[in-house]
């Protein structure tokens, strides 16, 4: 992963956030190998999506 990449912000509903997290988690778990930067990017995305899920649950009082 390059440190100088542009950051993009998206807004999604909770169901879409859950789906994105699940899709990225599965992609990470089933990563076939290759470029290690891709694996690191998937792990970073998985972690950030999980964090967003937990933030939303905390704010909504669902925890």
- Domain locations along the chain: 14-60
Residues 6+ apart with CB under 8 A from 49: 17, 20, 21, 24
The pLDDT score that the predictor gives to residue 63 is: 63
Tokens of 34: 């290759």
Mean pLDDT, consecutive 10-residue segments, the chain of 63 residues?
Answer: 80 95 97 94 96 92 72
**pTM score, whole prediction:** 0.83
- What span, in angstroms and rounded, lies between the C-alpha atoms of 57 and 63? 6
């Amino acid at each position: 992963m390059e440190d100088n990449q542009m950051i993009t912000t998206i807004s999604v509903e909770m169901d879409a956030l859950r789906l994105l997290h699940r899709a990225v988690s599965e992609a990470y778990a089933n990563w076939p190998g290759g470029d290690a930067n891709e694996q690191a990017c998937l792990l970073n995305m998985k972690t950030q999506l999980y964090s967003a899920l937990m933030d939303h649950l905390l704010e909504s009082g669902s925890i």
